[in-house]
């Protein structure tokens, strides 16, 4: 199954996303939380989780830098927010052993801060549920993210892994579509990416042209629904006149 998630901690974006777009989860990180200003982090995350309900996933990142502390922090997060939360852990020297331990305990893990194929392979072998690849940051560092995605994809397919590539860190729509085309099973995007995708001027120009053609036939303000009513009204009044 392919997935689209929202990469934000902004409540109005999340409400809009859940109501209007095919969103299967919300991903956060400390920088995303910082953008929200002076918030109580756990209250905000609890609120996001409530909005997500049981149908959508919430991903929360640890910030500790030693394996022992990452594991403790992950357990604390689950204690506060519920064990269905995905704990995001960077694939680093300290993070990888924490991922391995937590996965063996049944914790849901999103391996993150992935820039290289090797990090993706290690996260897949450690059994992470999602493998979050940082597209835009990779391109900023002259790393081709699409090659990395397709290499990790082949590796995961080869080992029949259930780990899913979750492309992340986007600045434009084309990065998202290319990530899926390269083998990502999911993408986590800011609300502005979806708004830009739906706000393309050609889309509205096409809709306006269709409307003008329809109005040229049936008159201003008419739709497929009102012309049926109009026709019914015309038939009824003709029948009425015949009876007279
Ligand atoms: C998501 O998992 C990442 O934390 C996020 O997409 C990073 O994005 P950025 O490069 O826009 O900060």
What is the spatial distance between Cα 6 and Cα 18, in angstroms, rounded to a whole number? Answer: 9
What is the spatial distance between Cα 168 and Cα 187, in angstroms, rounded to a whole number? Answer: 6
pTM of the model: 0.92
CATH 3.20.20.70 fits 3-198, yes or no: yes
The answer to whether residue 239 scores a pLDDT higher than 60 is no
What is the spatial distance between Cα 110 and Cα 130, in angstroms, rounded to a whole number? Answer: 5
What is the spatial distance between Cα 30 and Cα 72, in angstroms, rounded to a whole number? Answer: 17
Residue nearest to atom 8 of ligand 1 (CA): 169
Q: How far is the CA of 244 from the centre of ligand 1 (A)?
A: 73
CB 108 within 8 A of CB 87: yes
What is the spatial distance between Cα 8 and Cα 5, in angstroms, rounded to a whole number? Answer: 9
Q: What's the confidence (pLDDT) of residue 77?
A: 98
Q: Where are the domains of the chain?
A: 3-198, 202-243
For range 69-82, the mean pLDDT: 98
Residues annotated as part of the active site? 88
The answer to whether residue 235 scores a pLDDT higher than 70 is no
Q: What's the confidence (pLDDT) of residue 231?
A: 62
Q: How far apart are the first and last CA of the chain?
A: 63
CA-wise closest residue to 59 among 4, 130, 115, 118: 130
Q: What angle do CA 25, 36, 15 make, to 5 degrees?
A: 40
Residue nearest to atom 9 of ligand 1 (CA): 169
Q: Residues 6 or more apart from 164 whose CB is under 8 A from it?
A: 3, 129, 130, 131, 185, 186
What is the spatial distance between Cα 86 and Cα 202, in angstroms, rounded to a whole number? Answer: 38
Task: Ligand 1: list residues with CB < 6 Å.
Answer: 7, 27, 29, 31, 112, 132, 134, 136-137, 168-169, 188
Q: How far is the CA of 169 from the centre of ligand 1 (A)?
A: 4
Percent of the chain having pLDDT more than 90? 93
Q: What's the confidence (pLDDT) of residue 233?
A: 63
The answer to whether residue 240 scores a pLDDT higher than 70 is no
Q: How far is the CA of 168 from the centre of ligand 1 (A)?
A: 5
Q: What is the pLDDT of residues 124-133, one digit of tens each?
A: 999 999 999 9
Percent of the chain having pLDDT more than 70? 93
């Amino acid at each position: 199954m392919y997935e689209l998630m929202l990469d934000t901690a902004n409540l109005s974006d999340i409400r809009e996303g859940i109501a209007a777009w095919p969103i299967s989860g919300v991903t956060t990180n400390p920088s995303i939380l910082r953008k929200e200003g002076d918030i109580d982090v756990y209250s905000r995350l609890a609120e996001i989780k409530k909005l997500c309900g049981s149908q959508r996933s919430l991903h929360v990142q640890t910030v500790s830098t030693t394996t022992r502390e990452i594991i403790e922090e992950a357990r604390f997060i689950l204690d506060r927010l519920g064990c269905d939360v995905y704990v995001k852990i960077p694939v680093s020297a300290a993070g990888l052993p924490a991922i391995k331990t937590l996965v063996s305990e049944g914790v849901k893990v999103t391996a993150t801060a992935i820039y290289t194929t090797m990090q993706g392979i290690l996260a897949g072998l450690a059994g992470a549920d999602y493998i979050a690849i940082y597209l835009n940051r990779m391109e900023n560092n002259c790393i081709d993210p699409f090659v990395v995605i397709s290499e990790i994809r082949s590796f995961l397919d080869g080992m029949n892994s259930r780990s899913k590539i979750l492309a992340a860190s986007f600045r434009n729509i084309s990065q998202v579509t290319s990530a899926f085309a390269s083998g990502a099973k999911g993408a986590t995007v800011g609300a502005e990416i979806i708004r830009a995708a739906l706000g393309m001027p050609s889309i509205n120009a096409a809709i306006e042209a269709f409307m003008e053609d329809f109005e040229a036939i049936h008159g201003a303000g008419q739709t497929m629904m009102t012309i049926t009513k109009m026709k019914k009204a015309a038939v009824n009044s003709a029948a009425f006149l015949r009876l007279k």
